[in-house]
Structure 1
């Protein structure tokens, strides 16, 4: 079992030697890597800043959320979804599945530990991961020392809050979609939903279902596809067609079928991009919207589509077309981003620059010349973006959802298993002598 003793180094920081990899993040990606390593008998430590697994799902998703893809594309390695689960499991069912998954593979993360920095020590050929406890009044630091680091914080670690003129002067409630739970408290109110991706569409639909009056900002073009085509998952159909047809032709077929089922979205104020939905996903990582009823509400007038925002006033918003809307609250369905640039340092020569996120500036300890790019995603495109140098791995950054995370986990665990057999089991670990370290396994 993993445990701490009371020993600390001279600076008051606990120092922990980890025989296997340190995995940062206890979401689906981190759990999948952990399970695959567990089956090989490879020790590891999972670090999680929240107090639970899959904190994004448990704490930062709306109540009506369901998996957008059929469950067979969303299951983690080594354990399928229960047969009694529906084709599109609910949020509650998915969380239950993850909790059972962690229990089955005896995955016990170190909760409430936020990574401050992770730096590769080129002299010792080791990773040094420094965390700070997120509970209690006393700042407790821990340094994990390991030969391998798995970054599993995911694509959606932080909500993106755009800079919009006048937003800070708006007197109503402004929340990011990650804090939105239900439209129940918005009954009868005028709500501006900024963003028209899957979250924006679903939040708008949920608001409409609760008799609110949502207006959805559609600033750029977006593909909207039916979730199912003739009773078959659109994603499943696309995967099947791509086995036989080129990508551009599959896109053409999907758009023809989408027009047949959904009609013209341009008439509703939603323009389609010039690139097809699959090409756009592959080249730019932009996911098409899978419609589950929002378009019907737009046609009926229950959801209003509006163009881009010019500025906010105290109780209204001015649009780029000159119209002004009186509104009570704002939901920012403006997406998420990776937080890797905030804490990962992979070069001795630091790249020091100011990052602005959510109106706050932070120091960037990140060298974009290495494995991860400035946006916090691996530079190497799918399917080879899972492995860097110096024992660095990335899980869940494929822009291909849970299926991509599972594929990463299996590749990472196989690679670590190979290293473990060749090196870690054959050589006695040399613990750094300049610190007093606690062996965890």
Structure 2
């Protein structure tokens, strides 16, 4: 088979993968279901969206965001940036727009023989490997409650601007980053809004002492969790103080057990009486919403800021093992037991992802090169140093270390192949060379040597 790969998705993550594959000379088709570059930034955010991570940690390392951009660029600026990145490196010329993938299946039990990809028009293609980078913020999650609400209901993904509201009485359900923004936008538009919270949330200010808070989650080696928690609790103490003073319940979960909310406007509007907090919904009755504390309210519109489900409708049942709604992957990337099938961007970092995405993409490209010389899935070898997990929340240092460690592992495997005379140095190890050239510590080398006997 021709060594040609398929990259699914031309958003923030998919473009990084395309750049990494281009840099290593890997041939690929780049498929995008919509008509535009940018993924969620092109079709899944509201007009007033701004980044919650600063530009210097959100941009790709080899294509910094423009100097004239503010610390926190708008959605429009992010779209322009992604289009500029694609044009700068010729990635846009290789994207097939309006091409929906409907089925992906391995050509053999393990995927070592390649993968078959079917698109919506019925065309069937065969590839050496597939990278799934279609994102996990598209299949909306809307909870169900007893009764019927007869007003307008809209998910935050489908909301664009205040004219989308029907009437002035707005209830936002959920206090993630989108929920906070939309409660503030409704209050700004109509003078007041209400927000229903099922639990407490940890609120992180965008700035701490004039520094974007995401910069406190940087570094290239793992930081002990107790230290990370201490840093972020200090940030929250400075930015919020007492939760009760805002009419909010203090979170009962660990600070890193759920997504952090980077928002300063919601507490501000709470203090000014522009937003009122409600508990979880109990039931509906026409335009009336009853809450679990026995109170009720009348509303014209409900905005569901209740997140998304992780789904891959084009993947056949049984290919992945799932746990609590997420697939179990090795290093957020490799499916156990399957070769030449990789996932990109299936993680929720606490800070900007530019460097992380690019190094993770280079890990994928280097893994694709090495897989060409192996008779066992790269991911299965990787399980010796990183066990499969369904957890998608992680800190920046932890994720950057995961990518670096993975690249060390792949390069060491390539060197072992060279030493055993199975491949020349120029075909794998010399090509696996990009921005970072870290040394290989002994702690990483020992498990690699233990793996050598499994390399064919």
Fold conserved between structures, TM > 0.5? yes
Whether contact under 8 Å (1:18, 1:144) holds in the other structure is: no
> How many residues in Structure 1 have an aligned counterpart in Structure 2?
368
Please give the per-residue CA displacement for 1:51-88, whole angstroms capped at 9, x wherever unaligned.
11223211221111111011122113531111221111
- The equivalent residue for 2:134 is 153
Summarize the alignment of residues 267-346 of structure 1 with structure 2, pairs less than 5 Å apart: 267-277=245-255, 279-280=256-257, 286-340=258-312, 342-345=313-316
Whether contact under 8 Å (2:171, 2:303) holds in the other structure is: yes
- The equivalent residue for 1:25 is 9
Secondary structure, counterpart of 2:303 in structure 1: strand
Instruction: Give the CA deviation at 1:243.
Output: 7.0
Aligned match of 1:415 in 348, 364, 367? Answer: 367
Whether contact under 8 Å (1:311, 1:319) holds in the other structure is: yes
- The equivalent residue for 1:393 is 342
Q: Which runs of 5+ in 2 are unaligned?
A: 374-422, 428-456
Q: Structure 1 residue 114 and structure 2 residue 110: aligned?
A: no
Secondary structure, counterpart of 1:61 in structure 2: coil
More off after superposition, 25-34 vs 155-164 = 155-164
Instruction: Give the CA deviation at 1:294.
Output: 1.2
RMSD of aligned C-alpha atoms? 2.6
Secondary structure, counterpart of 2:157 in structure 1: helix
Q: Counterparts of 2:66 and 2:328 in 1: how far apart (Å)?
A: 33
Whether contact under 8 Å (1:159, 1:335) holds in the other structure is: yes
Whether contact under 8 Å (1:20, 1:148) holds in the other structure is: yes
Secondary structure, counterpart of 1:122 in structure 2: coil
Please give the per-residue CA displacement for 1:133-183, whole angstroms capped at 9, x wherever unaligned.
xxxxxxx211120111101112213221222222xx322111000111122
Whether contact under 8 Å (2:138, 2:157) holds in the other structure is: no
Q: Counterparts of 1:62 and 1:204 in 2: how far apart (Å)?
A: 13
Whether contact under 8 Å (1:343, 1:366) holds in the other structure is: no
Taking structure 2 as the reference length, what is the TM-score of the superposition? Answer: 0.74
Q: Structure 1 residue 406 and structure 2 residue 358: aligned?
A: yes
Q: Counterparts of 2:236 and 2:174 in 1: how far apart (Å)?
A: 21
Whether contact under 8 Å (2:156, 2:303) holds in the other structure is: yes
Q: Counterparts of 1:343 and 1:111 in 2: how far apart (Å)?
A: 17
Whether contact under 8 Å (1:18, 1:44) holds in the other structure is: no
Whether contact under 8 Å (1:188, 1:213) holds in the other structure is: no
Secondary structure, counterpart of 2:366 in structure 1: helix
Q: Counterparts of 1:218 and 1:234 in 2: how far apart (Å)?
A: 24
Q: Counterparts of 2:155 and 2:225 in 1: how far apart (Å)?
A: 35
Please give the per-residue CA displacement for 1:391-433, whole angstroms capped at 9, x wherever unaligned.
111100121163443332121122224456969x99xxxxxxx
Whether contact under 8 Å (2:133, 2:345) holds in the other structure is: yes
Q: Structure 1 residue 125 and structure 2 residue 113: aligned?
A: yes
Aligned match of 1:232 in 211, 217, 221? Answer: 211
Q: Counterparts of 1:172 and 1:28 in 2: how far apart (Å)?
A: 35
Whether contact under 8 Å (1:398, 1:405) holds in the other structure is: no
Taking structure 1 as the reference length, what is the TM-score of the superposition? Answer: 0.77
Q: Counterparts of 1:253 and 1:376 in 2: how far apart (Å)?
A: 28
- After superposition, the Cα gap between the structure-2 partners of 1:305 and 1:292, relative to the gap in structure 1 and judged at 3 Å, is same
Q: Counterparts of 1:54 and 1:373 in 2: how far apart (Å)?
A: 29
Whether contact under 8 Å (1:224, 1:291) holds in the other structure is: yes
- The equivalent residue for 1:72 is 56
Please give the per-residue CA displacement for 1:302-329, whole angstroms capped at 9, x wherever unaligned.
0111000011121110101111100000
Instruction: Give the CA deviation at 1:188.
Output: 6.8
Instruction: Give the CA deviation at 1:245.
Output: 6.6
- The equivalent residue for 1:210 is 189
Instruction: Give the CA deviation at 1:227.
Output: 1.2
Secondary structure, counterpart of 2:348 in structure 1: coil
Between 1 and 2, higher relative CO (CA 8 Å, sep ≥ 6) is seen in: 1
